């Protein structure tokens, strides 16, 4: 991130909370929803130049879910995590 311009916040895509009904837990629905959201974010980034996807985990369990998919927590706010768009692109290459 050293090559970013020195103005404002870098452009990112903020994902709203993803939720799966408890009755559907453990069936891969959350993974499917996240993959769909990341694919849509990548498509949007080709138009608006977002450099990362940011999520705000509801709790530690949600944080663990995102970390499983290589999201990295911010140091000051560990329930806020990011995934660089270059990593997202590799998922769909």
The CATH number, out of the four listed (3.40.630.30, 3.30.2030.30, 1.20.120.450, 3.40.640.10), of the domain defined by the range 13-91 = 3.40.630.30
Contacts 24+ apart (CB under 8 A), 31-36: 31/69, 34/66, 34/69, 35/91
Q: Average the pLDDT over 6-13 and give the result.
A: 80
Domain chopping of the chain, boundaries? 13-91
The structure's pTM equals 0.84
- pLDDT, position 1: 53
- pLDDT, position 76: 94
Number of alpha carbons in the 13 Å side-chain half-sphere of residue 3: 1
**If DSSP codes are grouped into helix, strand and coil, which group holds residue 20?**
coil
66: annotated active-site residue: yes
Active-site residue, selected from the candidate residues 30, 53, 66, 71: 66
In this model, does residue 42 exceed pLDDT 60?
Answer: yes
Per-residue model confidence as pLDDT tens digits over 47-87: 888 999 999 999 999 999 999 999 999 999 999 999 999 99
Cα-based angle 37, 28, 17 (whole degrees, multiple of 5): 40
């Amino acid at each position: 991130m050293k090559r970013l311009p020195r103005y404002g916040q870098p452009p990112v895509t903020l994902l709203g909370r993803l939720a799966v009904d408890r009755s559907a837990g453990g069936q891969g629905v959350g993974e499917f929803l996240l993959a769909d959201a990341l694919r849509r974010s990548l498509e949007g980034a080709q138009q608006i130049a977002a450099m990362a996807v940011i999520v705000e985990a509801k709790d530690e369990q949600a944080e663990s879910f995102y970390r499983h998919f290589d999201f990295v927590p911010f140091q000051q706010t560990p329930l806020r995590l990011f995934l660089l768009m270059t990593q997202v692109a590799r998922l769909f290459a």
